[in-house]
């Protein structure tokens, strides 16, 4: 059943991703390539050796605990952040200066911080979009590390997998993508303070709101480089993608409407997760996204959470099987068993696969138009359903999706051309869930947006779309 649905969803995505190419005007954006050429090129550009080099440097700072030394040039989170900023600057230089490196900071207080609080600093590299720069795709990870005692800022805390792996992935994605031009902005975000209470994620959310970013997607990479689970099982074939089912910011009125009409598995975060899965299926060269219909691991959290609470869609990516002996542990050996988050616990071929999926997803989202807004369905007491939406800036066409209400993935789709409504004859509104995606002239498709507030990617309508090209 799962395979059938997966295949059907992938087939639908395959058709749609190529939909804009035939008869389209000469592509003028990005690298001038459609998804079938651009995304494999991005996949091939990711280097396991570069990831190893980056992670070796990060581990070399001894500890990156949020409260560790910030003045040393060789040890502690300050040195690690400065190195990261310098690395972004180097990457940018090789790409003609396409990245703006920024280090927003703010003082936070909390249970896992000193009584007078702590200054939290993030390192961001911003690749400004060409035609839709306020729309933002975020690739994030946290640079801070910890050992058994969350307040121990002195002990060695290599944080190779948690979350040096994620930081290496974000830096490598920046290197691979910075030479390309995209409609939307991509923000590469290296966050601090995660282990002390998700403070870097909060700072990112506040920064995004202050700057008026319309965040369409957050891909938060946390623990993405280990292939052997606590139980000893080796799994290299997929990464887990966690997504919330209903919006953290849903109002009681919206919740009532959603509970009655459906939408409990169609938040924008969930449809972003489905997008990643379909993309992996088509372009991942055998590497899959396993969707988990939860906001995070059971009872645990990550930096996507403050972004969700700010109303921004996002997912968490985590390796297939975690090894708890390597997370949040003092470096030690007990009864012949080694504990600690050391470099040897990271598999760079696997980390490269996760990085490829990140880079391809960010490129596809940033090259595509935003999802259509104000999606509506009509057709009560009728044998047909009409789906309508408002135009997306930069869209050449739209694709309407539907699926059985119990299906996990979109299974049916139809091209709507440039119209902003589509009637589906013989499709009864009661029996299906619906959504719509926007497609650029060169064939890049947005995630599917489910109707109403339950599925809306953006809290407010987008600026008026320019006249069709
Ligand atoms: Zn982590």
Q: Check which CATH number belongs to the domain holding 21 and give it.
A: 2.60.40.10
Residue 23 confidence (pLDDT) above 70: no
CA of 120 to the centre of ligand 1 (A): 16
Q: How far is CA 286 from CA 6, 237, 279, 282, in A?
A: 13, 7, 11, 9
Res. 17: pLDDT tops 80: no
Residue 244 has pLDDT above 80, yes or no: yes
Residue 264 lies in a domain: yes
pLDDT band of residue 460 (cuts 50, 70, 90) is confident
End residue of a domain, out of 352, 367, 382: 367
Give residue 443 CA to ligand 1 midpoint distance, Å: 35
Least confident of 62-71, 85-94, 456-465: 456-465
User: How many angstroms does the Cα of residue 227 sit away from the middle of ligand 1?
Assistant: 16
Mean pLDDT of 426-441: 98
- Residues 191-240 have pLDDT tens digits of 999 999 999 999 999 999 999 999 999 999 999 999 999 999 999 999 99
Q: What is the mean pLDDT of residues 51-70?
A: 98
Distance 237 CA to ligand 1 centre (A): 21
According to the model, what pLDDT value does residue 15 have?
Answer: 37
Query: Per-residue pLDDT for 6 more than 50?
Result: no
Give residue-wise pLDDT tens across range 334-348.
999 999 999 999 999
Asked if 287 and 241 count as a contact pair (C-beta separation under 8 A), the reply is no
Q: Radius of gyration (Cα) for the chain, nearest Å?
A: 22
Pairing mode, strands 238-243 and 132-142: unpaired
pLDDT, one tens digit per residue, over 315-364 is 999 999 999 999 999 999 999 999 999 999 999 999 999 999 999 999 99
194 CA distance to ligand 1 middle (Å):
7
Mean of per-residue pLDDT scores for the chain: 92
- Would 446 be classed as within a structural domain? no
Q: Which of 13, 312, 310 is nearest to 136 (CA)?
A: 312
The pLDDT score that the predictor gives to residue 465 is 54
DSSP secondary structure letters along 217-267:
EEEEE-S-S--B-TTS-B--SEEEEEE-SS-TT--HHHHHHHHHH--TT--
Q: Residues 10, 82: one domain? A: no
pLDDT tens digit string along 405-414? 999 999 999 9
Q: What's the gap in Å between 75 CA and the centre of ligand 1?
A: 20
The yes-or-no verdict on residue 5 having pLDDT over 90 is no
Q: Do 406 and 343 share a structural domain?
A: no
Domain-embedded: residue 459: no
* pLDDT value at residue 65: 98
In this structure, what is the dihedral angle of CA atoms 457, 463, 464, 469, given to the nearest 10 degrees?
-80
Residues 312 and 252 in one domain: yes
Domain boundary among 345, 367, 389: 367
Q: Looking at the structure, tell me whether residues 199 and 303 fall in a common domain.
A: yes
**252 C-alpha to center of ligand 1: Å?**
32
CATH of the domain at 276: 3.40.630.10
CB–CB of 448/271 below 8 Å?
yes
- Whether residue 212 is contained in a domain is answered as yes
Last residue of a domain, one of 349, 367, 385: 367
pLDDT at 466 over 90: no
Which residue range(s) make up the domain with 22?
Answer: 2-29+370-439
**Which range (16-25, 89-98, 378-387) has the least confidence?**
16-25
Q: Report how far ligand 1's centroid is from the alpha carbon of 66 (Å).
A: 13
Q: Which residues pair with 220 in a beta bridge?
A: 140, 316
Evaluate whether 193 touches 66 at the Cβ level (below 8 Å): yes
pTM of the predicted model over 0.85: yes
pLDDT at position 30 over 50: no
Q: 385 alpha carbon to ligand 1 midpoint, in Å?
A: 45
352 C-alpha to center of ligand 1: Å? 18
Instruction: Please check whether residue 306 lies inside any domain of the structure.
Output: yes
Closest to 274 measured CA to CA, from 97, 129, 411: 411
Task: Examine the domain organization and report whether 22 and 73 are in the same domain.
Answer: no
Q: What is the mean pLDDT of residues 121-139?
A: 98
pLDDT band at 463 (very low <50, low <70, confident <90, very high): low
pLDDT, position 33: 84
In a domain, 403, yes or no: yes
When divided into structural domains, the chain yields a total of 2
Verify that 270 and 395 share a domain, yes or no.
Answer: no
376 with 334, same domain?
no
- Cα–Cα distance between 252 and 371 in angstroms, integer? 25
3-state class of 402 per DSSP? strand
Question: In angstroms, what is the span from residue 49 Cα to ligand 1's centroid?
Answer: 23
Structural domain includes residue 451: no
Question: Does residue 321 lie within any of the structural domains?
Answer: yes
Burial label, 231 (beta-carbon count in 10 A; 0-12, 13-18, 19+): exposed
- 200 and 315 together in one domain: yes
pLDDT at 26 over 90: no
Same domain (yes/no): 335, 258: yes
Indicate whether 161 and 13 sit together in one domain: no
pLDDT at residue 234 in the model: 97
CA of 212 from ligand 1 middle (Å) equals 27
Kindly state whether residues 139 and 229 are assigned to the same domain.
yes
pLDDT of residue 461: 62
From ligand 1's centre to the CA of 195, what distance in Å?
Answer: 7
Q: Is the domain of 8 the same as that of 41?
A: no
């Amino acid at each position: 059943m799962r395979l059938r649905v997966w295949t059907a969803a992938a087939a639908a995505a395959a058709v749609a991703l190529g939909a804009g190419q035939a008869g389209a005007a000469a592509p003028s954006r990005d690298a001038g390539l459609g998804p079938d050429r651009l995304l494999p090129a991005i996949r091939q550009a990711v280097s396991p050796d570069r990831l190893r080099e980056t992670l070796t440097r990060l581990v070399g700072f001894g500890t990156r605990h949020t409260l560790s030394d910030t003045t040393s040039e060789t040890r502690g989170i300050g040195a690690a952040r400065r190195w990261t900023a310098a690395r972004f600057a180097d990457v940018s230089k090789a790409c003609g200066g396409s990245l703006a490196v920024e280090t927003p900071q703010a003082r936070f207080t909390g249970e896992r911080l000193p009584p007078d609080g702590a200054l939290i600093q993030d390192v961001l590299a911003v690749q400004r979009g060409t035609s839709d720069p306020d729309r933002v795709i975020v690739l994030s990870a946290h640079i801070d590390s910890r050992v058994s005692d969350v307040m121990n800022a002195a002990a060695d805390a290599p944080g190779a997998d948690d979350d040096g792996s994620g930081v290496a992935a974000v830096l490598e994605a920046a290197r691979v993508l910075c030479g390309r031009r995209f409609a939307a902005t991509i923000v590469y975000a290296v966050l601090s303070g995660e282990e002390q209470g998700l403070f870097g994620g909060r700072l990112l959310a506040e920064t995004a709101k202050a700057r008026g970013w319309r965040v369409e997607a957050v891909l938060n990479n946390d623990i993405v480089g280990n292939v052997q689970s606590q139980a000893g099982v080796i799994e290299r074939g997929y990464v887990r993608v966690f997504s919330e089912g209903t919006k953290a910011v849903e109002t009681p009125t919206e919740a009532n409407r959603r509970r009655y009409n459906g939408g409990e598995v169609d938040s924008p975060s969930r449809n972003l997760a489905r997008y990643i899965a379909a993309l992996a299926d088509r372009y991942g060269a055998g590497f899959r996204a396993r969707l988990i219909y939860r906001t995070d691991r059971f009872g645990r959290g990550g930096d996507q959470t403050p972004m969700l609470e700010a109303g921004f869609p996002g997912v968490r990516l985590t390796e297939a099987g975690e090894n708890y002996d390597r997370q949040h542990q003092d470096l030690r050996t007990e009864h012949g068993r080694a504990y600690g988050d050391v470099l040897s616990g990271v598999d760079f071929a696997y980390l490269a696969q996760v990085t490829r999926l990140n880079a391809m997803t960010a490129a596809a989202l940033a090259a595509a138009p935003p999802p259509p807004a104000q999606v509506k369905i009509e057709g009560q007491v009728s044998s047909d359903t009409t789906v309508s939406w408002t135009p997306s800036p930069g869209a050449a066409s739209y694709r309407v999706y539907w699926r059985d209400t119990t299906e996990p993935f979109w299974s049916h789709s139809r091209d709507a051309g440039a119209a902003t409504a589509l009637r589906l004859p013989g499709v009864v509104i009661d029996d299906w869930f619906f959504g719509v995606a926007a497609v650029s002239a060169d064939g890049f498709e947005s995630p599917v947006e489910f109707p109403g507030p339950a599925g809306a990617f953006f809290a407010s309508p987008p600026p008026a779309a320019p006249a069709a090209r």
